[in-house]
Structure 1
Amino acid sequence: MFDIGYSELLLIAIVALVVIGPKDLPRVMRTVGQWVGRARGMARHFRSGIDTMMREAELEEMEKKWKEENERIMRDHPLAAPFASDASLPPPEEAPVEVPPHPAAPAPPADEASPQLPGFEADPAWPLPFEEPAPPPEGAEPPAPKPDSPRELP
């Protein structure tokens, strides 16, 4: 930043050691560090203020462009009937559409275990997504445990 090389920094450190002395050098370096920290904080605050102002200016510019583009679009494609004036227009002359009433769904039997939605019946033509496994035959032994399963304790 200041174009100071390592040799110049070494020369400044030696001069400071000779002029200030080894006894007061830590206190002076601490004070210099505090001042450098304050200067960096002020520079950071200044930079963030400038960045904020630039973002606000860009935002205002974008809002202006969006407004101009919106006005151009609205000018090129006007609405046939604005929403606010819909109440002042006469209702359209259309024949009312009659909707046939739905027949009442048959009541499900009371002894049925699973509840059904009203008007919904399962289509027996469609197969179930899974098949239940067949029960094991009488007197069959349970399958042997897999080698990676935990063993039962005696």
Structure 2
Amino acid sequence: MFDIAPSELLLVAFVALIVIGPKDLPKALRVVGYWVGKARGVARQFRQGFDSMVREAELEEMEKRWAAENERIMREHPASDSDASVEPVATAPDDGTQPAVMVERPQVVEAEAHPVPVDEPHADHPKPDVAPS
């Protein structure tokens, strides 16, 4: 950004020493350092705000693309009776809140009866020998 050679920096330091004086030079450097830190903080906040605005704009653009792609897919593959377990896609409410997440309904399947009673050992898993205590 700034191209300051070491010789130029030495010249500025020498002029500051003569103009300000050796007694007040540390105080002046502290004030300059304080204001440089403030300027860096303002620049950092500006950059973070700008980055967040760009990120939000990119997210909005991606959401529009995803919605268009979803509409295209839904047109190509219309819902049939076999897809009755899938609920329709929710759109974002007008109040600015996030839409509810829609998922497929779980399919409940009856459990099979256990072929081996629990108290009898199975051939693959015999009961361990336990010493009496």
**TM-score interval for Structure 1 and Structure 2 normalised by the shorter chain:** 0.5 to 0.7
| 1:6 partnered with 2:6 | yes
Question: Whole-Å Cα distance in 1 between the matches of residues 117 and 126 of structure 2?
Answer: 20
1:4-153 paired onto structure 2 within 5 Å = 4-81=4-81, 83=84, 119-123=117-121, 125-126=123-124, 128=126
How many residues align? The count is 101
Query: Identity of aligned pairs, percent?
Result: 57
Asked whether the 8 Å contact 2:17–2:25 carries over to 1, the reply is yes
- What SS is found at the alignment partner of 1:16? helix
Which is greater in Rg? 1
Question: Whole-Å Cα distance in 2 between the matches of residues 31 and 126 of structure 1?
Answer: 81
Q: Normalized per residue, which structure has more helix?
A: 2
Question: Whole-Å Cα distance in 2 between the matches of residues 53 and 23 of structure 1?
Answer: 47
Q: 1:119 to 1:27 in 2, by over 3 A?
A: same
- How far the C-alpha of 1:121 sits from its partner, in A, is 4.7
Question: Whole-Å Cα distance in 2 between the matches of residues 125 and 22 of structure 1?
Answer: 94
Structure 1 residue runs of 5 or longer lacking an equivalent are 85-101, 103-117, 134-154
Deviations 1:91-139 (A, max 9, x none): xxxxxxxxxxx8xxxxxxxxxxxxxxx9435256556376679xxxxxx
Question: Whole-Å Cα distance in 1 between the matches of residues 130 and 13 of structure 2?
Answer: 87
Residue identity matched to 1:37: G
Asked whether the 8 Å contact 2:121–2:127 carries over to 1, the reply is no
- How far the C-alpha of 1:78 sits from its partner, in A, is 0.3
Q: Which has the higher contact order (CA 8 A, sep 6+)?
A: 2
- Counterpart in the other structure of 1:91: none
Tell me the TM-score normalised to structure 1 length: 0.57
> How well do the aligned residues superpose, as a CA RMSD in angstroms?
2.8
